[in-house]
A and B are shown apart, each in its own frame.
Chain A
Amino acid sequence: MFGSKQKNNSTAEATSRLEDFDYLNPKSIYLDSACQSLRPKSVCAALQEYYTKYNACGGRVKYDWGQKVDEAIDEARGAVLRLLHLSSKDYVTSFTLNTTYGINLLLQQLPQGFYKRVITSDIEHNSVFLPTMTLATRLGVERIVLSRTPTGELTYSSDQLEKAIVVVNSTSNIDGRKLSSIKELVRDAHERGGIVIIDAAQTMAHNHEMLIGCAADAICFSAHKMYAPSLGVIVCRKSLLRSLDYQIVGGGMVSNVTENNFKLASEDPASQLEPGLQAFGEIIAFSQALKWLDEIRPFGEDRSKYINSLGNELFEGLKSLPDVNVINAGPTSVVSLYSSKMDAHRLAIFLSSGGIMARSGYFCCHYYLREKLNLPPLLRFSIGLNNTHQDITTTINTVEKLMRSA
């Protein structure tokens, strides 16, 4: 239904969007991809195809539509593992609502009596920061909030990782800083009997390579930040799954039920985090989004390089503006700022009036931004593959113009 061939010439690059996003109003500049990326036409088509051609339940059915759904879901699970170079012998892919829900599903079902502490970092999204609080309370263990360096590394001592549950992001949603020492962290935690759960919501769309070979116990992320429909994804080590004390249970995850007991479907471990009916259409469209991400070469460029070039341009442009304080240490696809002369919410409204969509506030990082750094609300621009160099230029020029009104 929608074509997915890309234009590949420099003239088009200057002013045009990728064909996959040509349904957008040319004057609309969407810069909130850290919250939710836009969907390319092929993803929309896949979702529509499911709803119009084989709109059935999956889950061990015998009719064609259902079996087609099951195949597509299995394909999606496999595609995620392939993307992260993980073996299906050790890991499974489960689907849920979003990253927050995925992290909660794991943390709130970790068993009592084994772990000594919960460790997280100061720049976490509330999806990590809050569940680690309730987890520590439930397990009756201490909770340690560690600092992250301006470049993203977690500052810790090996002793702190002793039988620790470490829950951290691999990329910050505030300024895009990365946990580049992720492999070392996982290795150190494992050596001390700890586990590491990664919030990879901001990583998977453009920097999933950094997670390859990290051997984390679980990686949670959101398909809707990867050009797919709204969906949460949990990639989990089977050994961790087996250790969970299942509290959230129901249809689709058991092999047998007696009057007072049930047996989980051990042959389908992925289902153990998937109680109830799944968002089949969204999972299938996510599979298409993974294919699209694999194939896309915006204007002939590597997608990560393209995003980085836009991020660099945005970072340098905003940083050069007077009265604008960019809080990023360096260029990333997520750039946050504030101005002492104009409230971020007002700036966001003014930008919106000019067709530029950016997020303002604390981006669910209240502790770090408001409590720790005592910063005012911020304005955040987050880039996606729907954006062009012209979008970035227009945005910088508009911010500059608006700052004159302050």
Chain B
Amino acid sequence: MFCIAAFIVLVIISIFSARYRRLAKKAWGCVARRLTFRPCDTKFKDELKSRLLAHVALKKPQFVKAASIGIEVGSFVIVALTVWSLYVVFKSGLNLYVYGTCNPANAASCSLGAEACSIETAKPSFVTSIKELKLHSWLANEFSGLGETIAAVPTRMQDWRAEDYLPANATYEQTYSNTKPTALDIFDPGCQYCRQLYRNQLQANFASKYNVSYIAYPIANPKTGDGYKFRNSMIITRYLEAMKIKPLIKAKTPADWQILNRIFTKADSDGTSYQQKINIVLNGDETQTLLQKWMHEMGYADDDTSAIRTLAFSDRVSNVIENNRKIVEHKVKTVKIPTLIFNGQRHGGVVDIQDLK
């Protein structure tokens, strides 16, 4: 263990000082023997260890044994940390390749991937697992996560067709055209990055090139009271699905798209964007009131508004939302919201305007 630790430390020091490269080469010889299941070069190990202990031996000889044990423990820690670091780097790299984020459990925390809202998981942290004496379950989660990532590698390379993942009652931002390919936007109405992606699409005039459809996916969060990351996302999703069932007759842009447009692009009279207002200021009832006001402005009759309100909380809409959730989680298997499927690829997070053009 000491040889391996010495090699790790010497390699790092050698980057900055040529003086240690000869020792690093010696240490590598020792490590190579260990890797091939042969005994380590004890001469090298003993010499290096003795050099580390020499000052202690001369000043406080009684502490040499303790220092020697300390070196062995330190070596074990260095090796363990290095092995773990390499594992994390490998796993993160694989996640970045497969999902576009180095941490699928918290996509927003990974600066290497595109900006996105995370789909949080309820897996306990390492510290929590230690506290609860459930290290084994933490390890099981850790390696099952790696297994899932490896299993998802083929999805990274597949040809993504938006048509394969469209929800029931799909609506399109512009009138559907057989001459245009289809794109599918999976978003949470409360997610700021979904708003950014929608605005990028507008600027890139994305809808003129693609039949753009969507799945509204309220990101779950078991840690919050209502179970969702953004408190009013589920209400909005219910209304959007209800409006798909009861569309606004003769509307040039479907009513649900008009609502999305207002949430993502408009602001209240005080300058606060509606998305921010819905996320932070309004409660559920107030959100419904706002949606009903917008529906009235868009041309819905009062009876229709009332019917949509009832429909939004019906089992029928609940089933639609549940089916959509299954599409996102089990078919698309994304860990980042928004996710945009177009041009044969699945893009996790915000897509640049240039890439949308």
Contacts and interface: CB of A to CB of B under 8 A. Distances in A.
Interface of A: 343, 345-346, 349-350, 352-354, 398, 401-406
* Most-contacted residue by chain A among B47, B53, B54 (CB, 10 A): B54
Interface in B224-265: none
Contact of B50 (A349, A354, A403, A406): A349
Given A345-B47, A349-B47, A405 B64 contact: yes
Contacts of B58: 350, 353-354, 398, 401-402
B51 interface: yes
Measured as residues with beta carbon below 8 angstroms from the partner, the interface class of chain B is 10 to 19
Interface in B9-48: 43, 46-47
B46 A343 contact: yes
A404 B55 CA distance: 14
A400 B265 CA distance: 83
Given A350-B53, A350-B54, A352-B54, A345 B46 contact: yes
A406 B63 CA distance: 10
Nearest to A343: B46
B62 interface: yes
Given A349-B54, A350-B53, A350-B54, A405 B47 contact: no
Contacts of B63: 405
A96 B253 CA distance: 103
Contact of B54 (A343, A353, A403, A406): A353
B46 A401 contact: no
B63 to A, nearest CB: 8
A144 B51 CA distance: 42
A350 B60 CA distance: 12
Nearest to A353: B54
Interface of B: 43, 46-47, 50-51, 53-58, 61-65
Given A343-B46, A345-B46, A346-B46, A405 B61 contact: yes
B165 to A, nearest CB: 67
Given A343-B50, A346-B53, 10 more contacts: A345-B50, A349-B50, A349-B54, A352-B54, A353-B54, A354-B58, A401-B61, A405-B56, A405-B57, A405-B62
Contact of B65 (A343, A354, A402, A405): A405
Nearest to B56: A405
A199 B285 CA distance: 107
A343 to B, nearest CB: 6
* Most-contacted residue by chain A among B46, B50, B56, B57 (CB, 10 A): B57
Nearest to A346: B50
Contacts of A346: 46, 50, 53
**Interface majority SS on B: helix, strand, loop or mixed?**
helix
Contact of A350 (B50, B62, B65): B50
B54 A404 contact: no
11 contacts: A343-B50, A346-B53, A349-B54, A353-B51, A353-B55, A398-B58, A402-B58, A405-B53, A405-B63, A405-B65, A406-B64
A405 B68 CA distance: 11
Contacts of B51: 349, 353
A354 B57 CA distance: 10
Contacts of B55: 353
Contacts of A405: 53, 56-57, 61-65
A353 B57 CA distance: 9
A404 B51 CA distance: 17
A343 B49 CA distance: 12
A350 B57 contact: yes
Nearest to A403: B61
Contacts of A403: 61
B47 A404 contact: no
B57 A402 contact: yes
B96 to A, nearest CB: 46
Contacts of B47: 345, 349
Contacts of A401: 58, 61
A401 B64 CA distance: 12
A354 B56 CA distance: 11
B46 to A, nearest CB: 6
Contacts of B62: 404-405
Contacts of A352: 54
Contacts of A349: 47, 50-51, 54
Contacts of A354: 54, 58
A346 B55 CA distance: 12
Nearest to A348: B50
A406 B68 CA distance: 11
Contacts of B54: 349-350, 352-354
A345 B46 CA distance: 8
A138 B340 CA distance: 85
A352 B50 CA distance: 11
A398 B57 CA distance: 10
Given A350-B53, A352-B54, A353-B54, A404 B46 contact: no
